[in-house]
Amino acid sequence: MIRTRPSISSSPPLALRRLLGALLCIGVVAAPLSALAAEETEEDGDTLMYMEYMAGVSHVPNQTIRGTNASSIQFFGSTRPEDAGYFFGGAFGFRVGGNIRTELQVGYRNSEVEDMSVQGEPSFADDSTVSLFSVMANGYYDFELPDLEPVTPWVGFGIGWGMPRLDGRNASGPNQLSVDDTDGVFVYNAMAGITLEVSDTTDLTLGYRYIATTDFDVRGTQSGLLQRFEYEFDAHEAYVGIRFNFD
């Protein structure tokens, strides 16, 4: 059994460092492109591009971890969340016409693992985490409803690539279970929320996201023997964001 709650380690993991680099690149790339967009839209005034930063909470529901021991006997455990973890990310997008937007988004979410076990293993987990770094291509539809101005509801869907990581270990001893590995997997997400227009160039967003991966393999040891475990990841996320529009 694995229960999760938020934790920020003192040494940022590789995925987190990659995310910070991607967010920096979004800002660097957005600057010259915003100037180009301003020239192209000077006459019609339409917004062509935007940059958005977001942060929120990420709740991991019940998960499973499966494997096969040295005697080819199948065993499994489960994950049970206790508290929500954290999420943050950024996006660079385009309004491709009318009510439709498309964007490239990077994100990172992390939760602390409190208890970790499969059949017969001690459940205590020490300094353990589960996380997901994602790169998503998203599309959105904005519902322009005059009666709700300046609030705009929206829905979205996207697919991409993710790098989930399970880093956990329970009580030491002959039956210790230890997993510390990552994998590259297909990721999909669905979103819904609202946008509040603050000014001609700035919006605030409030959103919900369901994000999930295909099952992936991680390597670890059980009772000192090298094992390969199958794991899964999905999460429900609520977040706020600030969006900068380039006219």
Q: Which candidate, 137, 128, 110, places its Cα nearest to that of 17?
A: 110
pLDDT of the residue at 41: 44
pLDDT score for 23 = 54
Q: Write down the domain spans for the chain.
A: 3-246
- Token pair 């019940």 is found at 62
pTM of the model as a whole: 0.79
121 near 221, Cβ under 8 Å?
Answer: no
Chain segment 19-77, per-residue pLDDT in tens? 555 555 555 444 444 444 444 444 454 558 999 999 999 998 877 888 766 666 667 77
User: CATH code for 3-246?
Assistant: 2.40.160.20
Res. 120 pLDDT band, cuts 50 70 90: low
- Give the pLDDT score at 38: 42
- Residue 210 dihedral angles phi and psi, to the nearest 5°: -110, 125
Q: What values do phi and psi take at 122, rounded to 5? A: -60, 150
Mean pLDDT of the chain: 79
* Cα radius of gyration rounded to whole Å, the chain: 21
